[in-house]
Structure 1
Amino acid sequence: MDENSTAEEMTEFVRQLLREKFTSAEVGITGANFIIEDIGGVAITENEGNGIMSSSFPKTHIVIAGIEKIIPKLTDLDIFWPVLSSHGTGQAITVYNTIFTGPKKGNEESGPEEMHVILLDNGRTNVLKHEIQSDILACIRCGACLNACPIYKNIGGYTYEATYGGPIGSVISPFYQGFEKSAHLSYACTICGKCTEVCPEKIDLHLLLLHNRNLDVETYSKNWIFSVSMNIYKFVTLRVKFFDIGFAGLKNFFISVFAKNVFGQKRSLPPFKKSFRDQYLNKKNKL
């Protein structure tokens, strides 16, 4: 393909390249937006058509989905499909909504010869053990909280180093990947509550992040060093006069040497500036 190709030419090139891979693949792997209990079906929602091709052309279709994707009845899709599309992409309904109930029958021309559904736990039952945090399993992965989150807008998804980013990822990743690895995500939040406002499932995401922090401190990060550090921090912050000891440059030097990773490698302390008292006095003297 020429480097000066137009957008249309590049799209056509990719379409032809990928279509060949879809039609020649032996195995297709998809996720599932919902798994319907009463009919034993798998519902996939998409706009591109890749899900249909991944499940129709290959001889074997493998579905991998979390246990929270199961819904009781087919009629529940009357609610879930419009809610998912409107909050995820702003559409009344997505372009392709497909339900698979198994491999192709004898008189059918298209579809896989075999279909396998794999239900993932991967930490989800750990979430169920916590009465409050278990609410997060009601998430339908629409992405509305990501679009509203000021943190996500500024740092992007890759920064989270997890399958899910944004508020939803900050809540569930510590359970999926372990608090030792991902607890810091629950602290990367201003608790502004925007995520909770837009969530169609009415999940109190910002409160769940606070509960994650509490769980982290009480269960995973609680040690004598942490306790002593917090007591010192409390003692100092409750007494304003301590903030005026030493000039800003000295404080920043001390922090850079002795407390560089106090919040871990993912976060850094903001630099000290002149105290409000000093700024006020300087301005007053100029007047």
Structure 2
Amino acid sequence: MSSHQSKAPFPQRVDKALEDSFLREAVRKTQNKLRTGKATAETEMENWEDWRLRAEEIRRHTVENLDYYLDQFTIHVEQAGGQVHFADTSGDVLDVITGVIREKEAKSIIKSKSMVSEEVDLNRVVEEMGLEAVESDLGEYIVQLAEEAPSHIIIPAIHKSRKQVAELFSREAGEELPEETAALTRFARERMRQKFLEADIGVTGCNFGVAESGSVVLVSNEGNARLTTTLPKTHIVVMGMERIAPRWTDLDVLLTMLTRSATGQKITSYVTAITGPRREYDADGPEELHVIVVDNGRSDILGGEYQDVLHCIRCGACINVCPVYRQIGGHAYGGVYPGPIGAVLTPLLEGFDEWEELPYASSLCGACTDACPVRIPLHEYLLDLRADEVEEKRTPWAERLAFKGFGLATENPALFSAGAKGGRLAAGPFTDEEGMVKKGLGPLAEWMETRDFPAPARHSFREWWKKEGREGGD
């Protein structure tokens, strides 16, 4: 988990988000815009479900044969002159990167957006070495200056206002900058150009690695990825082990689904394919290419009931339709990956000890599963993770006792009938003139603060049937 993420308990993170009116409005507007773009793209393609099925098939085949395609990818990267490093843990990733830094005697690093580098907390480690690591993606740069983590997979600074950005940039510039967008982007361009020219090492993520050629494919809208991979003498790619496409024809399908699902675009501004370091006849490019294939808990998911979560192509479509994310934003989730995909993936990668609340951060509406371009059954996984927590007895003892009692009561008609009558009597003092329960006791009190609940009927169906139903009464 990034060191910039909040260590506060989940309820406190949620309360903080709910109190931030700008955050909630910004998230609402952005979600609406991205959802509309995706819906338009789906309509234009006409056979969207066929594309989803094809994308799911590609991802399933790839993950089921991951060892074969990783081997093929490695061979072709090395044939093109690159070096491949396999990292089992976040510590192994950092060992490789710090080793390259020391070998090259690097003083500065420029980065393009990489969620996996957030997983291993790369920026903090580099800074502790006395080096500068600068995020070149504009949104990432903003949250870096704010000492925060990204709050969305594709729009990291969704929660920041223009005024807040101006304050951050003014602090960095050492002078007050106007809040106008043109002035702020001009400052960012000038600052980034200097950092690109000074950087000894460029670090990027990897949207897809193409096994048949050993190519690394990056998708961006700002062009910063191309500068990050071109100007520094050394390029380090940090790639999740599952981010493989077997062939270029498969990549075509996955890119088609990625861009349309993320923003509704037919294609992003820049799709960059890198095959090895600079060759003799190349005008530019790095002298060395290091590709770090990261496990960090992914192999534990392989072969298990949650394997399909590794199909994720990081489009953010599930986040853009989630009603929970709509209210609390990304930081409330606490981990690197927010939204439904984070609520599933984070506990699987890091365990329940710190993340047992996340599977419950869902309304189980199923919108995330419907939106996913590779058909990951996210809402079913959330239910399964809840069941896992119950089996491990991670839920409160009072909750377990209550459900055990409920189970016993529903299995016994006499107890069920007695419980129904008791419920009617217990609800009486809390029921208003309109027949709605307005207040609750114990664990129901907080739940009832935002909900109205109809009071139990004066007579149950069983009682009515026994008295009148069999005789055809009203």
TM over 0.5: yes
Q: Is the 8 A contact 1:236 1:242 kept in 2?
A: no
Q: Is the 8 A contact 2:439 2:448 kept in 1?
A: no
Of 277, 282, 286, the match for 1:103: 277
Residue of structure 2 in register with 1:265 after alignment? none
In 1, distance between residues paired with 2:180 and 2:220? 26
Structure 2's unaligned 5+ residue stretches are 1-174, 411-415, 432-437, 459-474
- Shift in CA distance, 273/153, structure 1 to aligned 2, threshold 3 Å: closer
Letter of the 1:276 partner, please give it: P
In 1, distance between residues paired with 2:325 and 2:450? 25
Letter of the 2:220 partner, please give it: E
- Shift in CA distance, 149/26, structure 1 to aligned 2, threshold 3 Å: same
- Shift in CA distance, 10/212, structure 1 to aligned 2, threshold 3 Å: same
In 1, distance between residues paired with 2:452 and 2:334? 36
Q: Which has the higher contact order (CA 8 A, sep 6+)?
A: 2
In 1, distance between residues paired with 2:198 and 2:447? 53
SS of equivalent residue, structure 2 residue 355: helix
Q: How does 1:1-287 map to 2 (within 5 A)?
A: 1-4=175-178, 6-131=180-305, 133-219=306-392, 221=394, 227-232=400-405, 239-243=419-423, 244-245=425-426, 247-248=429-430, 255=442, 269-271=447-449, 276-277=454-455
Per-residue displacement from partner, 1:239-262 (whole Å, max 9, x unpaired)? 34444437459x97963xxx69xx
Per-residue displacement from partner, 1:133-189 (whole Å, max 9, x unpaired)? 111111111111111111111110111011111111111110112112112111111
In 2, distance between residues paired with 1:75 and 1:149? 31
In 2, distance between residues paired with 1:205 and 1:147? 14
SS of equivalent residue, structure 1 residue 211: helix
Letter of the 1:89 partner, please give it: T
Deviation at 1:48, TM superposition (A): 0.9
In 2, distance between residues paired with 1:220 and 1:172? 21
SS of equivalent residue, structure 1 residue 8: helix
Deviation at 1:101, TM superposition (A): 1.1
In 2, distance between residues paired with 1:63 and 1:240? 61
Per-residue displacement from partner, 1:97-150 (whole Å, max 9, x unpaired)? 01111111122221111111111111111211423x111111111111111111
Q: Is the 8 A contact 1:180 1:220 kept in 2?
A: no
Q: Is the 8 A contact 2:212 2:247 kept in 1?
A: yes
Deviation at 1:272, TM superposition (A): 9.2
- Shift in CA distance, 278/137, structure 1 to aligned 2, threshold 3 Å: closer
SS of equivalent residue, structure 1 residue 119: strand
Letter of the 1:189 partner, please give it: S
In 2, distance between residues paired with 1:43 and 1:137? 18
Q: Is the 8 A contact 1:248 1:273 kept in 2?
A: no
Letter of the 1:179 partner, please give it: F
**TM-score for the superposition, normalised by structure 1:** 0.83
Structure 1's unaligned 5+ residue stretches are 261-267, 281-287
Deviation at 1:36, TM superposition (A): 0.8
In 1, distance between residues paired with 2:222 and 2:452? 54
- Shift in CA distance, 220/54, structure 1 to aligned 2, threshold 3 Å: farther
- Shift in CA distance, 35/242, structure 1 to aligned 2, threshold 3 Å: farther
Alignment RMSD (CA, Å): 2.9
- Shift in CA distance, 17/227, structure 1 to aligned 2, threshold 3 Å: same
**TM-score for the superposition, normalised by structure 2:** 0.52
Q: Is the 8 A contact 1:179 1:220 kept in 2?
A: no
Of the structure 1 ranges 230-239 and 182-191, higher mean CA displacement relative to structure 2 is found in: 230-239
In 1, distance between residues paired with 2:242 and 2:342? 15
SS of equivalent residue, structure 1 residue 182: coil
In 2, distance between residues paired with 1:89 and 1:48? 14
SS of equivalent residue, structure 2 residue 354: helix
Overall identity of the aligned pairs, in %:
38
Letter of the 2:284 partner, please give it: S
SS of equivalent residue, structure 1 residue 183: coil
Which of structure 1's runs of 4+ aligned residues deviate more than 2 A? 1-6, 219-230, 232-249, 251-255, 268-280
In 1, distance between residues paired with 2:267 and 2:297? 31
In 1, distance between residues paired with 2:455 and 2:398? 32
